Amino acid sequence: MPIPFRKGHGTQNDFVLLPDPDGDLDLTEDRVRALCDRRRGLGADGVLRVVRTKAVPDAPAELEGDTWFMDYRNADGSVAEMCGNGVRVFARHLAEHGLVGAEEFPVGTRAGARTAIVHPDGDVTVGMGRVRLLDPSSATVGGRTLTGLGVDVGNPHLVCATDDLDALDLTVQPGYNPMFFPHGVNIEFMVPAGAGAVRMRVHERGVGETRSCGTGTVAAAAVALHDAGRAEGEVTVHIPGGTVRVAIADGAATLTGPAEFVADGVLSDAWWSAL
Ligand SMILES: N[C@@H](CCC[C@H](N)C(=O)O)C(=O)O
């Protein structure tokens, strides 16, 4: 059976999409790692399996069975609850293939349903759900300890302020408190970038440094607003891979940004079977 794939990205956070409506693919950790490998595979930060919720045994019970489910995997093969850039790319894929009827539609994730609107210019707005500010914690990078705030965006984040974003060496895993984040953490580093804007870099759990992290931009926006004494507002977040807009109101966030596709293809049977 030929296995089709699509390659896309959201602000250069890149993904391999695998259309698999009935959940027939045996998507092992080894296969995810191979797909994401930039030398022996297609190369990506993660895999998005496009599957109906009813074919996903660990999908949240409140999701309807026919809802399209973003089965997200990190490049190291691990499963994560949510991926903000991934939902934008996933939603645009659904819309382009006529797989959804309404202008606004739900996407199932392990963090619950997220609503998506695909705009005519290709941008996508995602309702990211509740954003919860947690306690302070810290990260260690290059021998420096940076204080920050934990944030739950469906997946775990630690947002740290820094004075020199460009000097950080994120090729190695930053230190963090494993008692506070027992399942690992995505760590954002941010600096102010003018009124209502921040610049951010991220070290993602299960991936390493990426050029963007949608849930991370939401976490950074929430902390930037909190630092300004506000619980609501709009923040423009500049990441190495582009720019997104985050709005927070009533404790919930929306994320707006681009979603782009670069290739459609078919995996080699021999390559897949040998994994
Ligand atoms: N890049 C994503 C987040 C992907 C999951 C993350 N690495 C985790 O393990 O929680 C995004 O755009 O939000």
Going by pLDDT thresholds of 50, 70 and 90, the confidence category of residue 236 is very high
- The Cα 36–Cα 156 span in angstroms is 22
Report the pLDDT value the prediction gives residue 263, as an integer from 0 to 100: 98
Report the pLDDT value the prediction gives residue 198, as an integer from 0 to 100: 98
- The Cα 3–Cα 177 span in angstroms is 41
Report the pLDDT value the prediction gives residue 136, as an integer from 0 to 100: 98
Closest ligand 1 atom to the C-alpha of 10? 12
Residues that constitute the known binding site for substrate: 13, 74, 84-85, 155, 186, 204-205, 214-215
As a whole number, mean pLDDT of residues 53-65 equals: 97
Q: Locate the domains of the chain by residue range.
A: 3-122+259-274, 130-258
CATH of 130-258, one of 3.10.310.10, 3.40.50.1820, 1.10.1060.10, 2.40.50.140: 3.10.310.10
- The Cα 142–Cα 169 span in angstroms is 7
186 lines ligand 1 (CB under 6 A): yes
Report the pLDDT value the prediction gives residue 16, as an integer from 0 to 100: 98
Average pLDDT over the chain reads 97
* Percent of the chain residues topping a pLDDT of 90: 99
Residue 221: Cβ within 10 Å count: 30
Tell me the residue length of the chain. 275
As a whole number, mean pLDDT of residues 23-30 equals: 98
In three-state secondary structure terms, 269 is helix
* Percent of the chain residues topping a pLDDT of 70: 100
Residue 266: Cβ within 10 Å count: 9
Report the pLDDT value the prediction gives residue 154, as an integer from 0 to 100: 98
As a whole number, mean pLDDT of residues 106-114 equals: 98
Going by pLDDT thresholds of 50, 70 and 90, the confidence category of residue 1 is confident
Do 186 and 205 touch, CB atoms closer than 8 A? yes
CA 110 centroid distance within chain: 12
Q: How much is the pTM?
A: 0.98
74 lines ligand 1 (CB under 6 A): yes
As a whole number, mean pLDDT of residues 197-212 equals: 98
Helices (H) and strands (E) in the chain, counts: 4, 18
Dump pLDDT digits (tens) for 156-203. Answer: 999 999 999 999 999 999 999 999 999 999 999 999 999 999 999 999
- The Cα 35–Cα 27 span in angstroms is 10
Question: Using only C-alpha atoms, what is the Rg of the chain?
Answer: 18
Active site members? 83, 213
Q: Is the pLDDT of residue 2 over 90?
A: no
Dump pLDDT digits (tens) for 117-149. Answer: 999 998 999 999 999 999 999 999 999 999 999
- The Cα 233–Cα 248 span in angstroms is 5
Q: Is the pLDDT of residue 81 over 90?
A: yes
Residues 6+ positions from 89 with CB-CB distance below 8 Å: 8, 9, 10, 15, 17, 48, 124, 259, 260, 261
**Topology agreement, domain 3-122+259-274 and domain 130-258:** yes
259 lines ligand 1 (CB under 6 A): no
Report the pLDDT value the prediction gives residue 112, as an integer from 0 to 100: 98
Per-residue DSSP letters for 135-199? EEEEEEETTEEEEEEEEESSSEEEEEE-S-GGG---SSPPEE-TTT-TT--EEEEEEE-STTEEE
Domain spanning 3-122+259-274: CATH superfamily: Diaminopimelate Epimerase; Chain A, domain 1 (3.10.310.10)
Going by pLDDT thresholds of 50, 70 and 90, the confidence category of residue 77 is very high
77 lines ligand 1 (CB under 6 A): no
Report the pLDDT value the prediction gives residue 13, as an integer from 0 to 100: 99
